Chains A and B, each alone.
Chain A
Amino acid sequence: QSALTQPPSASGSPGQSVTISCTGTSSDVGGYDYVSWYQQHPGKAPKLMIFDVSKRPSGVPDRFSGSKSGNTASLTVSGLQAEDEADYYCSSYAGSDILFGGGTKLTVL
């Protein structure tokens, strides 16, 4: 059982928006503004998409956005595209540890 809780699946049609949640505790998600999101395509290494809750690394489309409220963080993918179909993992700093969620499989219908 992963430390952070994510829904196992999410889906949306091309052009739509989808939001993936990540729930932790006041010791991790709620205690620090250090939530990250990773995209992983099958057979590939994860790729950092969002860090520090809502910041995008260079090269990540602005269709990807992050937010946080209390102990729950969210990743929103707007204007869904076929290439967005992948697994998404949240992560949070937790003091001396870095925790991951169980992952959400995003399907573009």
Chain B
Amino acid sequence: QITLKESGPTLVKPTQTLTLTCTFSGFSLSTAGVGVGWIRQPPGKALECLALIYWNDDKRYSPSLRSRLTITKDTSKNQVVLTMTNMDPLDTATYYCVHPRGVTCFDSWGQGTLVTVSS
């Protein structure tokens, strides 16, 4: 059974850097084909795919947010970390950690963590 859980701050100030950690179980990021990603959802709005990282360290980023995002993995700890720089109130959203099914969809989701950007 795959489980994913997000952790990190619930409140960040504008211009600060957000660091979120996804701790997962039920699979290994050292297995060929496996990946972990991050998706966010502003309150009452649609989903947005932010970043994906695969077993071979292949990384994919949202074209519109590429300059602000970094995704890394720690295979030994079963963790994936997402950093987003220069946070803005418009970045207020629930951030989900996800398990991709191949490269085309997401078959397992964490519970999500609400991050509010406010001074």
Contact = CB atoms under 8 A, between A and B. Distances in A.
A47 interface: yes
A103 B46 CA distance: 6
A97 B107 contact: no
A69 B97 CA distance: 31
Contacts, number: 55
Given A46-B47, A100-B46, A100-B49, A93 B109 contact: no
A38 B103 CA distance: 16
B101 to A, nearest CB: 6
B104 interface: yes
Contact of A45 (B46, B104, B112): B112
Interface string B44-67: 001111000000000010110000
A97 B62 contact: yes
Residue with the highest number of chain A CB atoms closer than 10 Å, among B47, B101, B109:
B47
Nearest to B106: A48
B110 interface: yes
Interface in B75-119: 96, 101, 103-107, 109-112
A91 B60 CA distance: 16
Interface string A49-62: 00110000100000
Interface of A: 2, 32, 34, 36, 38, 45-48, 51-52, 57, 89, 91, 93, 96-103
